[in-house]
Chain A
Amino acid sequence: MTEHINHTQEITDKDLSADDLYHNLLMDYAAGRLAEAQNMIIAAHICMSGNARQKLRQYESLGGYMLENECAPVSMCASALDNTLSLLDQVRHEAEHKSQNNIFPGNITVPTPITECLETNRVNAKWRMLFPGLETFKVKLNCPRHNVRFIKAAPKVKTPHHTHGGVEITLVLDGAYEDEYGQYKRGDLVISDENQRHTPQSCARRGCVCLIVSDTPVRFTGLWRILNYFIKI
């Protein structure tokens, strides 16, 4: 998808789309400044998507450019080089603790950032029923403004019509789902903004498992509003 906007023309808020947010997330990831919840979901998406890896490389190149050309050299202390050289031959023990046990519930392989997150936050990763066919569990992270949860939908389950107060980022971990705007498969990152109302439905064969990071809780709309009182997703 190419955008045909004259690049000298003024860009305003109204020209911004979910695509711009997506690029911003990847740039902020490359720059190392995402809040924990977004950091985790973007890292997981990068593990699962070739397209995301390519974009990340581009934003890391931008970082390389910044380092090389926008950071005027500042002299190192006199002993710096000798000091570093003296450490080169020391044998280094890799402090790599990579747990291999998949603590994610069910028979699903999830990318490392997710297992790492569940482990470091000692999450009780267990599905809890929200309503028939839809299960969930929440993760509390060190960034209170984000709501992080996993959901698992049985095949052909429709989530009631709802809207998001803020931005909601969904990563498909297994299976697929669709809504009024498109179809999403494993590895896809879906960004919906505040004004989008949608009715997602999981795919017929496998259902779907997703990770969702949102700014604010989901609000059900229409007759489903009554659910807001009972269900806190």
Chain B
Amino acid sequence: MTMYENEKNKDTDAAAGLHPRRMSDSASGDVSYEDLLYDVGQNKDKDSFIALFNYFAPRIKSFLLKGGASETKADELAQETMLNVWNKAKGYDPTKAAASTWIFTIARNKRIDALRKKKYYSVDLDNLPELEDETDTSPIQNAIDNEETHAIAHAIHNLPAEQADLIKRSYFEEKTHQEIADETGLPLGTVKSRIRIALKRLRQDPTISELWT
């Protein structure tokens, strides 16, 4: 059994089930979180929103707690993130990103605004003007068919634990390399090369390197 499945078994969220991204709905077959998010964006459907909220809000809260937010603050910010999801869902394009990816960016921006209190120049991939020599038009099909999620899960699992941990912490803690160096007492160069080695290793995973050419 892979770590990925282990993680899933610990997950008691009723909506999640064994297949994390598909909600079982006997009437209409499988409904994905992408479908739900698209439905929220196009039709302002509250039931779809509630399903998304039940699945994602507790994860966003967990994400914010890992970033150092207090229990109350994390709860409050997770709610605000979901409110932003509702308000911005109109711009969601399921051919370009998985629901989790899109919601992650909203949660990340919320965290930056609220916890970091520093200027962050953010770029909204949904609303960037197209480039003249567009090399980016290929829709990320794997966002829909889950291939990418599985490849990532697999690649992370195959990393030595310490390296996997470095990559995870990159996403959870908004500390810069310098801040990590100051905190751990490690030379800045060591902090930098460790994370780069971990990332190089991840990119060299056969499935990932094929997917992320």
Contacts and interface: CB of A to CB of B under 8 A. Distances in A.
Contact of B123 (A34, A43, A62): A43
Contact of A84 (B59, B79, B123, B170): B79
B10 interface: yes
Given A48-B131, A84-B82, A74 B61 contact: yes
Given A33-B170, A60-B105, A74-B58, A50 B133 contact: yes
A206 interface: no
Contacts of A73: 11-13, 58-59, 61-62
Interface string B169-213: 011111110100000000000001101110111011110010010
B78 interface: yes
Interface of A is mostly: helix
Nearest to B204: A7
A101 interface: no
B75 A60 contact: no
B11 A57 contact: no
Contacts of B1: none
B136 A51 contact: yes
Contact of A69 (B7, B133, B143): B7
- For B96, B138, B174, B175, the residue with the greatest tally of chain A CB atoms inside 10 Å of its CB is B174
A109 to B, nearest CB: 11
Contacts of A34: 176
Interface string A181-224: 00000010000000000000000000000000000000000000
A53 B111 contact: no
B97 interface: yes
Interface string A48-77: 111101111110111111111111111111
A142 interface: yes
A57 B96 contact: yes
A83 interface: yes
Interface string B76-102: 001100110011000000001111111
Contact of B100 (A46, A51, A65): A65
Task: Sort chain A's interface into a size bin.
Answer: 35 or more
B111 to A, nearest CB: 7
A53 B101 CA distance: 14
A36 B119 CA distance: 7
A97 interface: no
A64 B131 CA distance: 25
Given A7-B205, A32-B112, A67-B60, A39 B120 contact: yes
Interface of A: 2-3, 5, 7, 11-13, 15-16, 20-21, 23-24, 27-28, 30-36, 39-40, 43-44, 46-51, 53-58, 60-77, 80-81, 83-85, 87-88, 92, 113, 116-117, 120, 142, 145, 187
Please provide the 4 A-B residue pairs with the shortest distance between their CB atoms, ordered closest to farther: A64-B101, A73-B58, A50-B136, A50-B135
Interface of B: 4, 7, 10-13, 20-21, 46, 49-50, 53-54, 56-63, 65-66, 74-75, 78-79, 82-83, 86-87, 96-105, 107-109, 111-112, 116, 118-123, 125, 128, 131, 133-138, 140, 143, 148-149, 152-153, 156, 167-168, 170-176, 178, 192-193, 195-197, 199-201, 203-206, 209, 212
